[in-house]
Structure 1
Amino acid sequence: MKPPARLMSLIEEGLIDSVVRQLMSGKEAMVFVVRCGAETRCAKIYKEATQRSFRQAVDYTENRKVKNSRSARAMAKGSKFGRQEQEAAWQSAEVDALYRLAAAGVRVPQPYNFCDGVLLMELVTDAQGDAAPRLNDVAFTPEQARQHHATLIKEVVRMLGAGVVHGDLSEFNILLAHTPGVDEADGLDEPVIIDLPQAVDAAGNNHAQRMLLRDVANLRDFFGQFAPELLATEYGPEIWSLYQAGLLSVDMPLTGRFERSQASVDMQAVLREIDDARAEDAARRLRMATAG
């Protein structure tokens, strides 16, 4: 196919040989399958801020550090240069998160290069070598649902241990990759977490707890369709409570149970949670309608 204009600089630099096809177009980026020598990879082209539909971006960018003091001042002032720097910071956040999480043992796509607003990374594939399906595109047996849910809860814990909360984790941004050397009939595919430009710092973002609880609730609600007993679990509050107490680790067995404090309730926080849940449900319905 004819290469998109945004990929021409990567072709000229020799980072990409050819563009095979468009893989998807999402709320913050378009993804293309590309050839790089003997390998097939994917190129993620980030949309400009005016074209993105990702909501509440200010919640996700809170307390993100910018090394250049001039850029930080310009971003605070909201100047044209500042907006450009803020956009660059938003785009590079995914690259930083991918390297950080991969180092922590989280299964994410391997990044190869980031150039001119394009992220070149691993193409996650199924057993036939085609692009791996999303969780949303697959039906599971109860046992498969329980196993995948347990795996992804551990991934959430690993991410939190690395100081990262995904912030938009759901069945729409988790792929099922074939594990090399494993016969398709002998084992489960491996969940791979994608789409991380909105990842937040667990310690530095005031919305981190709310986002983690929502991420875990999304996993519960999706897999609970296939294994209904999961709907009664409360891994999110349990994980966050252990994290706050400095007791969380990947090896710690979780129960999925949580006893809430009887202290007074912050009603404003509760109302914010309700509003956010409504907005998230509306966004999920829109994604499902679009995917269908």
Structure 2
Amino acid sequence: MKAPPRLQSLLEEGLIDTVVRQLMSGKEAMVFVVRSGEQTLCAKIYKEANNRSFRQAVDYTENRKVKNSRSARAMAKGSKFGRQEQEAAWQSAEVDALYRLAAAGVRVPQPYNFHDGVLLMELVTDANGDAAPRLNDVAFTPEQALQHHATLVAEVVRMLCAGVVHGDLSEFNILLASSDDVDFPVIIDLPQAVDAAGNNHAQRMLLRDVANLRDFFGQFEPTLLKTDYGPEIWSLYQGGLLSNDTPLTGHYERANADVDMEAVLREIDDARAEDAARRLRMATATP
């Protein structure tokens, strides 16, 4: 196919040889299948800020730091240059998170290069070598639901131990890969990932991520709907007791305390917005 303009510089630099096809177009980016030598890769082209539909970006960018002091001042002022630098920082956040999580053993696509606003990374495949499906496109047996849920809860823990919260984890940004007849989930879409210790919204985001996993797999194995891994994981993390091997029960006893109604109402608003976003993704997503 004809290469889109945003991929021309990668062709000219010899980073890719051909563009095979468009894989998907989402709220944050367009993804193309490309060839580089003998490798088949993904090229993720980030959309400009005015073309993105991702909500509450301020929650995700809170306390993100840049090394250049001039850039930091410009970002704080909101100047044109500052907005450009903010956009560059937003795009590079996924690259940084991918390298960080891959090094920690989290199942994410292997990143290869980031050039001119385009991320080159591993193409996650199924048993036939085709692009792996999203969890949302797959039905599971109760046993499979239990297995994949346990795997993903462990991945959330591994991410948190690496200091990262995904922030938008759901069945729409987890792929079901396959290798040697074994299926396993791979976590994608990390430009909104936040630093667990440096973002005031990290706890709320982690609880929502884990709840999304519970609710999705609970469709196939209803016993999962009674679990409460999110608060348990965060409580262990805050207490310095969480490691990759920490046993979890899925139960959490909440202390009696006054209800923070403002927080509850914000969670309700978040849930409504998340549901609306999911419905929009289902209506507009292309295979």
* TM tier relative to shorter chain: over 0.9
Can you list the C-alpha shifts for 1:200-240, whole angstroms capped at 9, x where unaligned? 01111111011000000000000000000000100001101
The residue number in structure 1 matching 2:280 is: 286
The residue number in structure 2 matching 1:153 is: 153
The residue number in structure 1 matching 2:242 is: 248
Tell me, what secondary structure is at the counterpart of 2:51? coil
Root-mean-square deviation (Å): 0.9
The residue number in structure 1 matching 2:76 is: 76
What is the rounded CA distance, in whole Å, between the counterparts of 2:45 and 2:285 in structure 1? 20
For residues 43-82 of structure 1, the aligned pairs below 5 Å read 43-82=43-82
1:232 to 226, 237, 255: 226
What is the rounded CA distance, in whole Å, between the counterparts of 1:288 and 1:32 in structure 2? 19
Tell me, what secondary structure is at the counterpart of 2:50? coil
What is the rounded CA distance, in whole Å, between the counterparts of 1:175 and 1:244 in structure 2? 30
Deviation at 1:288, TM superposition (A): 2.2
Deviation at 1:266, TM superposition (A): 1.5
The residue number in structure 2 matching 1:190 is: 184
What is the rounded CA distance, in whole Å, between the counterparts of 1:254 and 1:236 in structure 2? 10
Deviation at 1:289, TM superposition (A): 2.6
For residues 84-95 of structure 1, the aligned pairs below 5 Å read 84-95=84-95
What is the rounded CA distance, in whole Å, between the counterparts of 1:3 and 1:277 in structure 2? 38
Deviation at 1:253, TM superposition (A): 1.0
Question: Are the aligned partners of 2:167 and 2:193 in contact in 1 as well (CA < 8 Å)?
Answer: yes
Tell me, what secondary structure is at the counterpart of 2:24? strand
Q: Which moved more, 1:268-277 or 1:22-31?
A: 268-277
The residue number in structure 2 matching 1:119 is: 119
The TM-score with structure 2 as length reference comes to 0.98
The residue number in structure 1 matching 2:213 is: 219
What is the rounded CA distance, in whole Å, between the counterparts of 2:177 and 2:70 in structure 1? 42
Which structure 2 segments of 5+ residues have no match? Answer: none
Tell me, what secondary structure is at the counterpart of 1:2? coil
Tell me, what secondary structure is at the counterpart of 1:265? coil
Tell me, what secondary structure is at the counterpart of 1:281? helix
Deviation at 1:275, TM superposition (A): 1.1
Say yes or no: does 1:261 pair with 2:255: yes
Tell me which amino acid in the other structure corresponds to 2:252.
Answer: F
Deviation at 1:272, TM superposition (A): 1.1
Deviation at 1:291, TM superposition (A): 3.9
Deviation at 1:28, TM superposition (A): 0.6
Question: Are the aligned partners of 2:20 and 2:33 in contact in 1 as well (CA < 8 Å)?
Answer: yes
Question: Are the aligned partners of 2:211 and 2:230 in contact in 1 as well (CA < 8 Å)?
Answer: yes
Deviation at 1:290, TM superposition (A): 2.6
Can you list the C-alpha shifts for 1:76-124, whole angstroms capped at 9, x where unaligned? 0000000000000000000000000001110100000000000000000
What is the rounded CA distance, in whole Å, between the counterparts of 1:267 and 1:126 in structure 2? 45
Tell me, what secondary structure is at the counterpart of 2:172? coil
For residues 135-174 of structure 1, the aligned pairs below 5 Å read 135-174=135-174
Q: Which moved more, 1:274-283 or 1:23-32?
A: 274-283
Can you list the C-alpha shifts for 1:171-226, whole angstroms capped at 9, x where unaligned? 000001112xx2x2xx4x11100000000011111110110000000000000000
Which structure 1 segments of 5+ residues have no match? Answer: none
What is the rounded CA distance, in whole Å, between the counterparts of 2:251 and 2:281 in structure 1? 30
Can you list the C-alpha shifts for 1:125-171, whole angstroms capped at 9, x where unaligned? 01111000110111000000000000000000000001100000000
Tell me, what secondary structure is at the counterpart of 2:266? helix
Tell me, what secondary structure is at the counterpart of 1:205? coil
The residue number in structure 1 matching 2:196 is: 202
Tell me, what secondary structure is at the counterpart of 2:159? helix
The TM-score with structure 1 as length reference comes to 0.96
Deviation at 1:278, TM superposition (A): 1.3
Deviation at 1:251, TM superposition (A): 0.7
What is the rounded CA distance, in whole Å, between the counterparts of 1:19 and 1:82 in structure 2? 33
Identity of aligned residues (%): 87
Tell me, what secondary structure is at the counterpart of 1:286? helix
